[in-house]
């Protein structure tokens, strides 16, 4: 993350940035909720706690944490947990997500699967990569997953192949 423009880096001592919503959710408030969600992580195998706080366009915040499983591929990331919770309650449009971990020397970054999962719900919403001290980097989903594949690609023109007849 060292090659990011300095204007993308934010420390906790800067002024509270408002997310332009009626309920006046701040970036710092969203990050705080992601840090709280991290506390509920179930990660006995990796001991790598992750929390997420997802802000829907209607102002509701959905939190999630990572949940591991002895069968590694059945674990669920915090970001996907938060999004699945929101979708299960009827939300499909998101303003921002904050992601928290215990990493002290670098900002937490979502895995590739979570990047694609976020992309399913749009490419132009905010992702806050944080550190435990509250500092963060602000990025768009499209920056985390450039040249991505999304739902709109399914309606693009395709070559029609006629199957061979025997």
Q: What is the DSSP string of 35-76?
A: HHHHTT-B-TTT---EEEEEEETTS-EEEEE-B--SSGGG-B
Pair 64, 81: CB distance under 8 Å: yes
What tokens appear for 109 in the block?
């970054």
Pair 16, 30: CB distance under 8 Å: no
Query: Cα separations (Å) of 164 from 93, 118, 157, 161?
Result: 43, 39, 22, 9
Q: Of 28, 68, 79, 138, which is the active-site residue?
A: 79
Whole-number Å distance between alpha carbons of 127 and 109: 9
7 is catalytic: no
Q: Provide the H-helix boundaries in the chain.
A: 27-38, 78-88, 112-119, 141-144
On whether 77 is known to bind a ligand per the annotation, the reply is: yes
Active site residues: 79
* Known binding-site residue numbers: 77, 111, 114
* Known binding-site residue numbers for Zn(2+): 77, 111, 114
């Amino acid at each position: 993350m060292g090659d990011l423009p300095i204007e993308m880096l934010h420390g906790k001592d800067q002024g509270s940035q408002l997310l332009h919503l009626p309920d006046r959710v701040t970036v710092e408030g969203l990050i705080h909720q992601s840090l709280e969600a991290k506390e509920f992580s179930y990660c006995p195998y990796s001991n790598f706690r992750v929390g997420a706080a997802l802000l829907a366009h209607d102002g509701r915040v959905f939190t999630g944490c990572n949940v591991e499983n002895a069968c590694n591929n059945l674990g669920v990331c915090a970001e996907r947990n938060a999004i699945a919770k929101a979708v299960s309650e009827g939300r499909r449009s998101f303003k921002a997500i904050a992601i928290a971990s215990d990493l002290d020397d670098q900002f937490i970054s979502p895995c590739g699967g979570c990047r694609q999962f976020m992309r399913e719900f749009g490419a132009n919403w905010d992702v806050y990569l944080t550190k435990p001290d509250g500092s963060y980097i602000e990025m768009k989903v499209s920056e985390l997953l450039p040249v991505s594949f999304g739902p709109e690609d399914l309606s693009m023109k395709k070559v029609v192949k006629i199957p061979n007849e025997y």
